Amino acid sequence: MEISVFILFMAAVFTSNILLTNFLGMCSYLSVSKQIESSIGLGIAVFFVMTCTTALNYAVYYFILVPLDLVYLQYIIFIIVIAAFVQLTEMVIERFSPVLYYSLGIFLPLITVNCAILGVSLFMIIRHYTFIQSVAFGAGSGIGWMLAILALAGIRERVNEKFVPAGLRGAALSLIITGIMALGFIGLSGIAVIQ
Amino acid sequence: MTKKQILLNSLFTENAVWRQILGICSALAVTNLLMNSLVMGLGVIFTLACSSFTISFLRNYIPNRIRMMVQVLIIASYVIIVDLFLKAFLPNMSKALGPYVGLIITNCIIMGRAEAFASKNTPVNSAIDGIGAGTGYALVLLIIAFFRELFGFGTLFGLQVLGAWWTKWSIMVMAPSAFFMLALLMWFVYTMKTRKAKN
């Protein structure tokens, strides 16, 4: 596929945002977005894990699964790679930077079941990206996800729920805010489009 | 609890999407067409029922420390069955759903039911609970898809319902409407519930 790496990266951040157009990673997006501080922590963790696991899964898929004709096992293998990587990162951070561990540590286990991470790996296979494209796509999607959760947390801190109808408070209100954000991001779609 | 109560409880009272706000990633992604939603819903019901049964069957043999990993592997195996089935018999549907079939693995509903119900109850009851929760999920998908397809394309299950006079709302096909529709559905359910509680 002939897409320049830079366009792919920008598209993953803005126009084809993994959360706002593909709806991935909604569970932790809705539950952790109450405060800006915790959403920054989760956002950084997602960005880091997403970039690295995309690269790892690319290598595993094309150098192990394809030659051995085990492509149908991709779901199991991908999820194992992601879980193992998250576990490893947790141990490394705990050993070398206890401060970072305490601010980031609680978010790491959440990431294993964040569907955006697995989703990026699956998109990479379906769209036949090269290695460099995959890493750019993974990093861009991570930044895009962080952007979306930061924006939502910023808005939620300022919204006074007293003026919102009772049935809309909480998750439903977050969904409406997200919908309006998605509308805004669609306005950027002239810049670059990836399929 | 009787088996019927288990079914109704996981289907309506504890409905995963509007009560517990789980599994909405795929609930939003596949709901632009009714047919996609139906296939996705059936896939989730199958995975949920089978994995709940298996996890409950093995619940006394799985060491507590690695239970999450074992649960994910069990779920992933059933998802592979669904994926291969779709590829073999409904190749177009498999392409349309794309990565969302694989993402059933990380659908929080399945892990949620495994943790909350299947790890404490008998296999048969767990399977019933799984069917209930899966049906509740499919129900939400179909409700949202009904409105999105009707207003966005003027069709239902691909059949023309609204005539040529209907101006298609292209916003209903795009991403934002999925967020709005789910929010409105949650609002509606909440309002009905409080009204019922008042009477």
Q: How many CA atoms lie within 13 A of A135 on its CB side?
A: 6
Residue B20 has a pLDDT of: 66
Tell me how close the Cα of A55 comes to any Cα of chain B, in angstroms.
Answer: 18
Which residue's structure tokens are 């669904």?
B82
CA A112/CA A120 separation, integer angstroms: 13
Judged by CB atoms closer than 8 Å, whether chains meet at A25 and B25 is answered as: yes
Contact between residue B133 and residue B19 where contact means Cβ atoms under 8 Å apart? no
CA A164/CA A16 separation, integer angstroms: 30
Amino acid letter at B135?
T
Each residue's pLDDT tens digit, B59-117: 888 887 778 788 888 999 999 999 999 999 998 888 888 888 888 888 778 888 888 88
Q: How confident is the model at residue A36 (pLDDT cuts 50, 70, 90)?
A: confident
Judged by CB atoms closer than 8 Å, whether chains meet at A76 and B73 is answered as: yes
Question: Could you tell me if residue A113 is inside a domain?
Answer: yes
B75 vs B1, residue with greater confidence: B75
- pLDDT (mean) for A51-55: 93
Q: Which of A21, A31, A75 sits opposite B175 (nearest CB)?
A: A21
Judged by CB atoms closer than 8 Å, whether chains meet at A119 and B99 is answered as: yes
Residue B115 has a pLDDT of: 80
Residue B191 has a pLDDT of: 85
Tell me how close the Cα of B191 comes to any Cα of chain A, in angstroms.
Answer: 6
Contact between residue B78 and residue B85 where contact means Cβ atoms under 8 Å apart? no
Residue A62 has a pLDDT of: 93
Indicate if the alpha-carbon torsion angle A69, A73, A77, A79 is positive or negative.
positive
Q: Which residues on chain A are in Cβ contact (under 8 Å) with B182?
A: 172, 175
Q: Hey, which bits of chain B come out as E strands?
A: 155-156, 159-160
Residue A106 has a pLDDT of: 65
Amino acid letter at A168?
L
Contact between residue B137 and residue B17 where contact means Cβ atoms under 8 Å apart? yes
Each residue's pLDDT tens digit, A102-120: 766 667 777 777 788 888 9
Residue A42 has pLDDT above 70, yes or no: yes
Contact between residue B74 and residue B135 where contact means Cβ atoms under 8 Å apart? no
Task: Nearest chain B residue to A123 by CA: give it.
Answer: B99
Each residue's pLDDT tens digit, B12-41: 777 766 666 777 777 778 888 889 899 999
CA A43/CA A8 separation, integer angstroms: 20
Contact between residue A58 and residue A134 where contact means Cβ atoms under 8 Å apart? yes
Torsion of CA B78, B83, B87, B90, to 10 degrees: 90
DSSP state of A195: -
Domain borders along chain B are 3-198
Q: Could you tell me the residue range of the domain that residue A64 belongs to? A: 5-186
Residue B19 has a pLDDT of: 67
Each residue's pLDDT tens digit, B167-187: 878 788 888 888 888 888 888
Number of structural domains (chain A) is: 1
Question: Could you tell me if residue A192 is inside a domain?
Answer: no
Q: Which H helix or E strand runs over B114?
A: none
Each residue's pLDDT tens digit, B124-150: 888 988 898 888 888 888 988 998 888
Residue A57 has pLDDT above 90, yes or no: yes
Q: Which residues on chain A are in Cβ contact (under 8 Å) with B175?
A: 20-21, 23, 182, 186
Contact between residue B55 and residue B71 where contact means Cβ atoms under 8 Å apart? yes
Task: Nearest chain A residue to B189 by CA: give it.
Answer: A167
Mutant choice from A16, A26, A180 vs B, greatest count of B C-beta within 10 A = A26
Judged by CB atoms closer than 8 Å, whether chains meet at B99 and A113 is answered as: no
Each residue's pLDDT tens digit, A74-106: 888 998 898 888 888 888 888 887 877 776 666
CA B196/CA B199 separation, integer angstroms: 5
Residue A124 has pLDDT above 70, yes or no: yes
Q: Which of B72, B105, B182 sits opposite A175 (nearest CB)?
A: B182
Biggest CA–CA distance in chain B, Å, is 62
Tell me how close the Cα of A37 comes to any Cα of chain B, in angstroms.
Answer: 23
Which among B184, B150, B182, B187 has a CA at the least distance from the CA of B169? B150
Which residue's structure tokens are 């962080």?
A146
Residue A191 has a pLDDT of: 62
B146-172 burial string, b = 16+ CB within 10 Å, else e?
Answer: bebbbbbbbbbeeeeeeeeeeeeeebb
The dihedral region occupied by B21, where left means phi > 0, alpha psi between -120 and 50, and beta the remainder, is left
Residue B1 has a pLDDT of: 67
B133: three-class secondary structure by DSSP: helix
- pLDDT (mean) for A156-174: 82
Judged by CB atoms closer than 8 Å, whether chains meet at B29 and A22 is answered as: yes
Q: Which residues on chain B are in Cβ contact (under 8 Å) with A179?
A: 176-180, 183
**pTM for the full predicted model:** 0.84
A194 vs B64, residue with greater confidence: B64
The tokens for A144 are 């895009």
Judged by CB atoms closer than 8 Å, whether chains meet at B105 and A119 is answered as: no
Residue A190 has a pLDDT of: 66
A115: three-class secondary structure by DSSP: helix
Tell me how close the Cα of A192 comes to any Cα of chain B, in angstroms.
Answer: 17
Q: How confident is the model at residue B54 (pLDDT cuts 50, 70, 90)?
A: very high
B72 vs B158, residue with greater confidence: B72
The tokens for B16 are 């995963």
Judged by CB atoms closer than 8 Å, whether chains meet at B183 and A115 is answered as: no
Judged by CB atoms closer than 8 Å, whether chains meet at A27 and B73 is answered as: no
CA A100/CA A91 separation, integer angstroms: 12
Residue A52 has pLDDT above 70, yes or no: yes
Q: Compute the mean pLDDT over every residue in chain A, rounded to the nearest whole number.
A: 84
Judged by CB atoms closer than 8 Å, whether chains meet at A115 and B190 is answered as: no
- ipTM greater than cut 0.85: no
Q: How confident is the model at residue B159 (pLDDT cuts 50, 70, 90)?
A: confident
Q: Which residues on chain A are in Cβ contact (under 8 Å) with B106?
A: 79, 113-115, 118
Tell me how close the Cα of B25 comes to any Cα of chain A, in angstroms.
Answer: 5
SS (H, E, C) A52-94: HHHHHHHHHHHHHHHHHCCHHHHHHHHHHHHHHHHHHHHHHHH
B108 vs A6, residue with greater confidence: A6
